[in-house]
Structure 1
Amino acid sequence: MTALVKTDGIRKELAAMLGPLAEQTIEAARSAGKTLDAAVLFGSAAGPGFVPGKSDVNIFMAFDSVDVALLNALRPVFDRWMKKLRARPVVADRAFISGSADVFPMEFLEWKERAVAFYGDNPVENIPVSLENLRMEIEVNLRGKRLRLIQAALEIGSKPAKFQPFLESTLSTFATIFRNILRLAGSPAAGAGDPDSVIAGVESLAGFKLSTFRELAAMKKSKTKAPAGKLETVFQSYLTELDSLTEFVDKMEVGG
């Protein structure tokens, strides 16, 4: 492993993979006339909630600039590692990073607070995030997810074998949104690694239960199929809880 790759705070099995990945990425970038500035492990892979073989290995990579030549050079490297990573790295350049904190505050906070740089320095570490911009992006995401849920109901709602997995697949995105609601409120629960603690933190903050989110999470974990006719009830409750949460975020008062 190259001495340039930092492994402090990274699980051993991931460190063994990230070293070669960084080296191959550096070489690929060099072949395209570009430079890898930093590579950052983020999300569950950077904390205690990581489950080997099941959790995605989320990586954010920053380059001096990004163009088609770089993407063509990176593609075979990322393809080679997809089976182990389970998710393609997020690729950005200096210009994007310096100008995007106002529109991607949720992502920047994930890259800052649930992250470990394994090559270079975290490029978003010292970029400030506006709390009002964060509140707005949270609301945009909640309202956008409602539209997507309704669209999915129209497309596959009559097919439980497809609709239930879709509903369960939305939970990971909501977990990120929930953490950022807690960040917005300055709650220490935002740093919790397990979803139950995050949901409990939002319930305590908002003053109402998110029982359907918990029910879906339990069904996903136990691989339980909803009984005939039950899925429609679950979906309606999911929308109702989502609406309540959206209204709560819409009325949150923040400073900065």
Structure 2
Amino acid sequence: MNISNCKLDWLAPKPARAVAAFSAALEAALGDRLVCLALTGSVVSGDFVEGVSDINSVVIVKDLDRATLERLAQLGRRHGKRGIHAPLVLTADAIASSLDVFPIEFLELRLAHRVILGAYDFAAPAIDAANLRLQLERELKARLINLRQGYLSASGDSQRLAALLLSAYKGFFPLLRAYLHLKGQTPPLRRCETLAAARQASGLAFACFEQLEGLSRARRPRLKEAQATALFESLYETTHALADQVDRHLA
């Protein structure tokens, strides 16, 4: 097993070196326990910001036992310093038996992955639309609860509120892509393209997402109290409207 089946020249030099080192260490640590290593998330979608974004991945192994986890854990400190986030570790059987409860997550893996080591057909597992819709409604309504609780906890602190909004924003893109999939569209990967497609499909004003996209790329994002409050209100109303659409019109 080697990385020749997926060259890393599409990555910038620094993350490419980090991925190559992690790949080699992973193969040495797991040997024939390793089925596949695939990169996921922003490093694949085109939204990766060097020095800000983590390098996310999924590792598929033959057996998910403690010995395998221990071998993986030993890689964490050294490669974490290079921007490698702790991988999602799965088996093929775990994927097959979890499609009904995690359809959004597996849709994301299907849409945005690049195999680095080994092989796995991410397009093969079937995702049920009814399960996807149910999880999407649940996730959107859970975000409304988290936004309400976070607003109360922020107690008027604009920076705590900004942190809440940014944290909520980063988790929205899998939901928007699931929404587009349910609308019969092929979801784009880049965040700006996902926002544009979801805005058109939903008919909602996504001004809050556009503002948060700009903030997410700042190394030290700051908002005045009035700005943070207005942005909270906009994000809350947009989330509520989207959840209502999923509940009433996609059921």
TM over 0.5: yes
Answer yes or no: is 1:7 the counterpart of 2:6: yes
| Cα distance, 1:22 vs structure 2 | 2.2
Match of 1:236 in 2: 233
8 Å CA contact 1:63, 1:92 repeated in 2: yes
**Bigger RCO of structures 1 and 2 (CA < 8 A, at least 6 apart):** 2
3-state SS, counterpart of residue 88 of structure 1:
coil
* CA–CA separation in structure 1 for the residues paired with 2:221 and 2:21: 39
SS at structure 2 position matched to 1:29: helix
Cross-structure match for 2:79: 81
TM-score by length of 2: 0.88
Match among 154, 170, 173 for residue 172 of structure 1? 170
Pairing 1:48-197 to 2, within 5 Å after superposition: 48-188=46-186, 190-193=187-190, 195-197=191-193
Superposed CA RMSD: 2.3
Contact 1:5–1:19 at 8 Å: present in 2 too? no
Matches within 5 A, 1:14-25: 14-25=15-26
Q: 2:194 aligns with which of 195, 198, 214?
A: 198
- C-alpha offsets along residues 122-145 of structure 1, whole Å, 9 cap, x if unaligned? 253311111221111111111111
Query: Structure 1 253/246 Cα, relative in aligned 2: closer, same or farther at 3 Å?
Result: closer
Assess if the C-alpha contact under 8 Å between 1:182 and 1:202 holds in 2: yes
Confirm or deny: 8 A CA contact 1:38 1:123 kept in the other structure.
no
| CA distance in 1 between partners of 2:83 and 2:120 (Å) | 20
The CA distance in 2 between the partners of 1:86 and 1:148, in whole Å, is 28
Partners of 1:213 and 1:185 in 2: CA distance? 20
* Distance across 2 between alignment mates of 1:73 and 1:236: 46
Q: Secondary structure at the match of 2:82?
A: helix
* Residues 19 and 192 of structure 1: CA distance in aligned 2, closer, same or farther (over 3 Å): closer
Letter in 1 for 2:192: D
The answer on whether the counterparts of 1:112 and 1:125 sit within 8 Å (CA) in structure 2 is: yes
Post-superposition shift, 1:147? Answer: 1.4
How far residue 62 of structure 1 moved from its aligned partner, in angstroms, is 0.7
Residue 116 of structure 2 aligns to a residue whose secondary structure is strand
Residues 46, 114 of structure 1: 8 Å contact kept = yes
Cα offset, 1:192, TM superposition:
4.0
2 CA distance for matches of 1:159 and 1:114?
A: 36
With normalisation by structure 1, the TM-score equals: 0.86
Quick one: distance in 1 between partners of 2:80 and 2:249? Answer: 40
Tell me, in whole angstroms, the C-alpha distance in 2 between the residues paired with 1:48 and 1:235.
27
Q: Which moved more, 1:230-239 or 1:6-15?
A: 6-15
* Whole-angstrom CA distance in 1 between matches of 2:47 and 2:211: 20
Distance 2:119 2:30 in 1: 18
